[in-house]
Amino acid sequence: MQNATGGGALVRSDDRDDNDRSIASNLVTLIGLVQANMKLIESAIAGESSPANQEAANVIVLDDVTPRYAKAHAALSTCSANLGLALHLLLDTRTSKHGTDASAEGARPPVRSTGCA
């Protein structure tokens, strides 16, 4: 935004804070969705390998979906880690520019570590 009298750029901290909150909220939502899908995949893998799912001992399974589930789980795990990192960086940027803000620290959601970088 251009300052009409001085010609310099004005930074509206309220708009920046609103944008940061909106982005952080969206990241938290995405992290939750990714982790929920990871749990669904874990359940599907457990269901595939459970003895109750084995209808007959002499049946040969030609299309094992477990490798696809495992690959999807690994991709989601990486995605979750990267979204968590993005959220962490966004919140660190906010606190370093605005000082240590207790409300920003309290608003920081827990991010589950997935072991992926």
pLDDT in tens, 94-110: 666 655 444 444 444 55
What pLDDT does 45 receive?
85
> What residue segments make up the domains of the chain, in order of their start?
13-106
Q: Which two tokens stand for residue 63?
A: 């299309």
Residue 98 CA to residue 79 CA, distance in Å, equals: 29
- Is 64 a residue whose pLDDT tops 80? no
**Is the model more confident about 14 or about 32?**
32
DSSP the chain: -B-TTT-PBP--HHHHHHHHHHHHHHHHHHHHHHHHHHHHHHHHHHHHHSGGG---TTPPPS---HHHHHHHHHHHHHHHHHHHHHHHHHHHHHHHHH---HHHHHT-------S--
Give the integer Cα–Cα distance in Å for 61 and 99: 59
> For the segment 18-52, what is each residue's pLDDT rounded down to a tens digit?
898 999 999 999 999 999 999 999 998 888 766 65
